[in-house]
């Protein structure tokens, strides 16, 4: 086996593979459910119960899960539209601006309206 054959095999083996559409949809639904469950847990939390440090675990865990799932959901949605933004952009700076606007729009959609 020559070096060029080995390089070709590596190149073929390491080509990116897009996940199936159903997997992306299932992941998005799971992240939405986790975010909503964490938000419900935080909404049910009583401020008077915070005097006892033993009661801090559930709200802290809910906050971590909610923030992590919400961030992952924003990244998943923004990444899914990357090719469209890349085609519409005229430069790298334009692409960065469009991406930041998309991140801000998605974050506004996910955050509760209070």
Domain residue ranges of the chain, discontinuous segments joined by +: 21-110
CA angle in degrees (0–180, nearest 5) for 110-31-35: 55
Asked if residues 31 and 39 have their Cβ atoms less than 8 Å apart, the reply is no
* Measured distance CA(2)–CA(53) in Å, rounded: 65
What per-residue confidence (pLDDT) applies to 114? Answer: 46
Q: For residue 95, give the 3-state DSSP assignment.
A: helix
pTM, two decimals, is 0.70
pLDDT grade for 2, boundaries at 50, 70 and 90: low
Burial letters for 70-94: b for 16+ Cβ neighbours within 10 Å, e otherwise?
Answer: bebbbeebbeeeeeebeeeeeeeee
pLDDT grade for 17, boundaries at 50, 70 and 90: confident
Average pLDDT over the chain reads 85
């Amino acid at each position: 086996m020559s070096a060029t054959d080995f390089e070709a095999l590596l190149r073929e083996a390491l080509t990116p593979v897009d996940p199936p559409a159903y997997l992306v949809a299932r992941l998005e639904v799971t992240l939405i459910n986790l975010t909503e469950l964490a938000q419900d847990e935080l909404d049910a939390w009583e401020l008077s119960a915070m005097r006892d440090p033993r009661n801090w675990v559930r709200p802290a865990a809910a906050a971590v899960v909610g923030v992590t799932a919400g961030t992952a959901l924003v990244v998943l949605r923004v990444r899914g539209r990357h090719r469209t933004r890349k085609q519409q952009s005229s430069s790298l700076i334009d692409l960065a601006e469009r991406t930041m606007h998309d991140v801000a729009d998605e974050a506004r959609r996910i955050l509760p309206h209070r």
